[in-house]
């Protein structure tokens, strides 16, 4: 009785504490949201400054809601950056752009989009200068578009080319007692290789070499062209790491001048034709004429046209469910139906940045998009990744845009049922049970090996879904089954190759896709509206707090290797059924 009363009292105290925390959080959120940002104006003779060291978000779906972070979610996205650069091109108050990009925190295609916007800005005749202390390779890719690149004497840039790394779990699975039972279709469908191999297959090496080769050629050729270096010499510079030491990089035309930041500011001061004032240093005057891209965007007037183009942001893994982590099918079905009901929305741009996931969830989303297409044009814009399920959901569209560096395709499927019986036995857990039929314990427990019947069923399911995938692509891309099958089999392609083999229509970013959607819907004046619509932060926060996170405890009990296996088992359990997913978790360095 005493123990029971103690538990009751503990529960009451816990509930009171939880309610108190919610109350405090709600109060703080109200206070934060009520703070109005000061109005910013653009002075005559100003320079627009880009640092881009924060994560480059594409929509509010990318914002994480956390009890440990009460800051206002970011509302500054990739499209805002592009719009700001475009507006600055014709703004008489903006005389040029200063790039101070050292740790670009975005993806390859985002870097390409921003670089293209800067190239377009330069056609106005205004200057673009860049200054860096220590610059990452992708940061230099953007900086290299500048008229002049200035480098700190004790910094450097590590231009070194690209590499890819894949982690394999087979040995750890053998060590801890996890048997990964795999059914796949397609010789290039290597998403499951890390679970039954210890190294890359020849097929995987072929596609990785081709993918990285295409991407690096695109990046290096852009940089070489901007810096007026021959492609051959640029590869020599990269192989020899000449850019790492400023004086050597200067000699090989990676930099235009090696100076301190204060000297760079003096150059900007003169370029803006600013004049010294009594009691003010040149640095203080320059600061008044320097505006960050975030603040500059806030000075722009939003469009308020009644005609709208919806942008459906599909970012992350595709799963079944109703939530905001990744692409959860029920959430996206609701969003598509909301778009369909709107009288003002005239077209849809589907922005995809996904390695894929659940085949069933992908089919649900595609079905809804097919119905929507009967009412309005659908244009697709691929970000860094549009593979497997990410490519699947694009198959009822009028036009597909991608960047040359977009990881595209991976037309293939697989199924994997892990058998973790030995793992749980090793930590003292055993299982036993009874069943009414021969396969009553199959395909729903990670503690049983696949029976012969279950394995045949999974094989049949994988083949049927693959054929359906190929048929979707063949219909939308106006190809035959055999033509799609030849470039399918789970193989991934760069955007460059994808255009050559007909998997995409044209190169372009989100802006190009929006303009095409406007053209197809025959509207000239329009504004954009983002989907899905997220819940209020406090509502999402309450849902998260109510969940129980046992990952840290598992890591403590099992150790790092076994915890990694547990994490993958958990992901497999969440992604039930056959998967249309990127062939492998690509880490490009």
Mean pLDDT to the nearest integer, 471-477: 97
Q: Say what the pLDDT of residue 346 is.
A: 97
Q: How confident is the model at residue 303 (pLDDT cuts 50, 70, 90)?
A: low
Catalytic residue among 126, 189, 346, 421: 189
Looking at the fold, whether 327 and 463 belong to one and the same domain comes out as: yes
63: which DSSP letter? Answer: P
In tens, the pLDDT along 137-161 reads: 999 999 999 999 999 999 999 999 9
22, pLDDT greater than 80? no
569, pLDDT greater than 80? no
User: What is the full DSSP assignment across 290-307?
Assistant: EEEHHHHHHTSPPP--SS
* 168 assigned to some structural domain: no
Looking at the fold, whether 261 and 389 belong to one and the same domain comes out as: no
Query: Which of 268, 298, 328 is the endpoint of a domain?
Result: 298
Q: How confident is the model at residue 547 (pLDDT cuts 50, 70, 90)?
A: very low
Find out whether 65 and 541 touch, Cβ atoms under 8 Å.
yes
Q: Considering Cα of 473, then 474, then 476, then 478, what sign does the dihedral take?
A: positive
> Which run of H or of E encompasses 409?
strand 407-409
Looking at the fold, whether 388 and 286 belong to one and the same domain comes out as: no
* 165 assigned to some structural domain: no
The pair of three-digit structure tokens given for residue 398, joined into one six-digit string: 């009028």
Q: Say what the pLDDT of residue 70 is.
A: 44
377 or 325: which leads in pLDDT: 377
Q: Which of 516, 550, 529, 198 is nearest to 339 (CA)?
A: 529
* 154 assigned to some structural domain: yes
| 527 has catalytic annotation | no
The pair of three-digit structure tokens given for residue 111, joined into one six-digit string: 């870097």
Q: Which of 23-37, 453-467, 558-572 has the highest mean pLDDT?
A: 453-467
Looking at the fold, whether 312 and 393 belong to one and the same domain comes out as: yes
Find out whether 420 and 568 touch, Cβ atoms under 8 Å.
no
Q: Which of 243, 264, 270 is nearest to 131 (CA)?
A: 264
Mean pLDDT to the nearest integer, 506-510: 96
Q: Say what the pLDDT of residue 570 is.
A: 57
Q: How confident is the model at residue 587 (pLDDT cuts 50, 70, 90)?
A: low
* 78 assigned to some structural domain: yes
Looking at the fold, whether 315 and 337 belong to one and the same domain comes out as: yes
Looking at the fold, whether 262 and 331 belong to one and the same domain comes out as: no
Per the structure, the complete domain to which residue 247 belongs is given by 46-160+241-298
534, pLDDT greater than 80? no
The pair of three-digit structure tokens given for residue 565, joined into one six-digit string: 């296996």
* 73 assigned to some structural domain: yes
Range with the lowest mean pLDDT among 86-100, 208-222, 328-342, 562-576? 562-576
For the chain, what is the domain count?
2
Q: Which of 405, 378, 404, 381 is nearest to 391 (CA)?
A: 381
CATH of the domain at 120: 3.90.226.10
In tens, the pLDDT along 74-108 reads: 567 999 999 999 999 999 999 999 999 999 989 99
Q: Which of 525, 527, 522, 520 is nearest to 505 (CA)?
A: 520
Q: What is the largest distance, in Å, between two alpha-carbon atoms of the chain?
A: 93
In tens, the pLDDT along 209-226 reads: 999 999 999 999 999 999
5, pLDDT greater than 80? no
Alpha-carbon span 247 to 531, nearest angstrom:
49
Q: Which of 186, 204, 168 is nearest to 459 (CA)?
A: 186
The phi, psi pair for 48, rounded to 5°, reads: -90, 125
Q: Say what the pLDDT of residue 188 is.
A: 54
| 435 has catalytic annotation | no
Looking at the fold, whether 263 and 387 belong to one and the same domain comes out as: no
Q: What is the mean pLDDT of the chain?
A: 84
* 125 assigned to some structural domain: yes
Catalytic residue among 136, 358, 388, 537: 388
Find out whether 150 and 133 touch, Cβ atoms under 8 Å.
no
* 21 assigned to some structural domain: no
Find out whether 152 and 260 touch, Cβ atoms under 8 Å.
yes
* 586 assigned to some structural domain: no
Q: How confident is the model at residue 401 (pLDDT cuts 50, 70, 90)?
A: very high
Looking at the fold, whether 279 and 401 belong to one and the same domain comes out as: no
| Ordered alpha helix ranges (H), 104-201 | 108-122, 137-143, 170-176, 193-196
557, pLDDT greater than 60? no
User: What is the full DSSP assignment across 252-295?
Assistant: TTS-SEE--HHHHHHHHHHHTT---BTTB-HHHHHHHTEEEHHH
Looking at the fold, whether 410 and 535 belong to one and the same domain comes out as: yes
Residue matched to tokens 């719009």: 83
C-alpha angle with apex 424: 421 to 428, nearest 5 degrees? 130
Range with the lowest mean pLDDT among 10-24, 37-51, 480-494? 10-24
In tens, the pLDDT along 109-148 reads: 999 999 999 999 999 999 999 999 999 999 999 999 999 9
Q: Say what the pLDDT of residue 67 is.
A: 42
The angle that helices 359-373 and 452-477 make with each other, rounded to 10 degrees, is 30
Q: Say what the pLDDT of residue 190 is.
A: 61
424, pLDDT greater than 80? no
Alpha-carbon span 137 to 146, nearest angstrom:
15
Query: Which of 250, 278, 298 is the endpoint of a domain?
Result: 298
Q: Considering Cα of 208, then 210, then 213, then 215, what sign does the dihedral take?
A: negative
Range with the lowest mean pLDDT among 447-451, 479-483, 526-530? 447-451
User: What is the full DSSP assignment across 426-491?
Assistant: HTT-------SSTTTTSSS-TTSPPPHHHHHHHHHHHHHHHHHHHHHHHHHHT--HHHHHHH-TT-
Looking at the fold, whether 382 and 516 belong to one and the same domain comes out as: yes
Q: Say what the pLDDT of residue 435 is.
A: 81
Looking at the fold, whether 414 and 549 belong to one and the same domain comes out as: yes
Range with the lowest mean pLDDT among 66-75, 164-173, 179-188, 297-306? 66-75
27, pLDDT greater than 70? no
Mean pLDDT to the nearest integer, 476-483: 96
Looking at the fold, whether 406 and 264 belong to one and the same domain comes out as: no
């Amino acid at each position: 009785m005493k123990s029971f009363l103690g538990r009751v009292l503990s529960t009451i105290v816990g509930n009171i504490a939880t309610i108190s925390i919610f109350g405090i959080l709600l109060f703080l959120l109200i206070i934060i949201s009520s703070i109005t940002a000061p109005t910013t104006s653009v002075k005559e003779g100003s320079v627009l400054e880009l640092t881009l060291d924060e994560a480059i978000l594409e929509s509010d779906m990318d914002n994480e809601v956390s009890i440990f972070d009460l800051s206002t979610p970011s509302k500054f996205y990739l499209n805002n950056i592009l719009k700001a650069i475009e507006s600055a091109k014709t703004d008489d108050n903006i005389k040029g752009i200063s790039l101070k990009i050292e740790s670009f925190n975005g993806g390859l295609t985002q870097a390409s989009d921003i670089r293209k916007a800067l190239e377009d800005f330069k056609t106005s005749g205004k200057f673009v200068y860049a200054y860096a202390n220590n610059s990452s390779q992708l940061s230099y890719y953007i900086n290299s578009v500048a008229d002049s690149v200035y480098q700190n004497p004790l910094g450097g840039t590590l231009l070194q080319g690209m590499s890819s790394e894949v982690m394999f779990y087979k040995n750890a699975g053998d060590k801890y007692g996890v048997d990964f039972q795999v059914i796949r279709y397609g010789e290039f469908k290597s998403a499951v290789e890390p679970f039954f191999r210890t190294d890359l297959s020849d097929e995987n090496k072929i596609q990785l070499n081709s993918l990285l080769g295409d991407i690096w050629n695109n990046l290096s050729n852009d940089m070489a062209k901007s810096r007026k270096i021959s492609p051959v010499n640029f590869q020599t510079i990269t192989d020899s790491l000449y850019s790492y030491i400023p004086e050597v990089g200067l000699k090989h035309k990676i930099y235009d001048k090696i100076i301190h930041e204060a000297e760079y500011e003096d150059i900007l001061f003169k370029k803006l034709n600013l004049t010294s004032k009594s009691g003010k240093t040149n640095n203080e005057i320059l600061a008044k004429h320097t505006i960050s891209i975030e603040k500059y965007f806030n000075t722009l007037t939003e469009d308020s046209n009644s005609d709208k183009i919806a942008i459906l942001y599909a970012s992350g893994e595709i799963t079944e469910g109703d939530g905001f982590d990744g692409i959860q099918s029920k959430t996206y079905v609701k969003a598509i139906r909301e778009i369909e009901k709107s009288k003002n929305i005239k077209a849809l741009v589907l922005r995809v940045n996904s390695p894929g996931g659940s085949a069933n969830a992908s089919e649900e989303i595609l079905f809804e998009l097919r119905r929507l297409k009967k009412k309005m044009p659908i244009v697709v814009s691929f970000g860094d990744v549009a593979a497997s399920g990410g490519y699947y959901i694009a198959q009822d569209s009028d036009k597909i845009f991608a960047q040359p560096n977009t990881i595209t395709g991976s037309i293939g499927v697989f199924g994997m049922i892990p058998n973790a019986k030995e793992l749980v036995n090793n930590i003292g857990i055993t299982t036993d049970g009874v069943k009414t039929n021969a396969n009553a314990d199959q395909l729903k427990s990670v503690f049983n090996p696949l029976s012969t019947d279950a394995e045949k069923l999974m094989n049949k399911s994988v083949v049927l879904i693959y054929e359906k995938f190929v048929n979707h692509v063949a219909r939308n891309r106006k190809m035959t089954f055999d033509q799609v099958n030849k470039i399918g089999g789970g193989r991934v392609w760069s955007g460059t190759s994808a255009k050559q083999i007909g998997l995409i229509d044209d190169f372009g970013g989100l802006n190009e896709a929006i303009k095409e959607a406007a053209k197809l819907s025959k509207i000239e004046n329009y504004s954009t509206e983002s989907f899905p619509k997220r819940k209020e932060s406090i509502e999402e926060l309450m849902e998260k707090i109510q969940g129980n996170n046992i990952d840290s405890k598992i890591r403590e009990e099992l150790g790092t290797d076994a915890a990694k296996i547990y994490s993958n088992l958990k992901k497999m359990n969440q992604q039930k059924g056959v998967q249309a997913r990127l062939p492998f978790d690509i880490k490009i360095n």
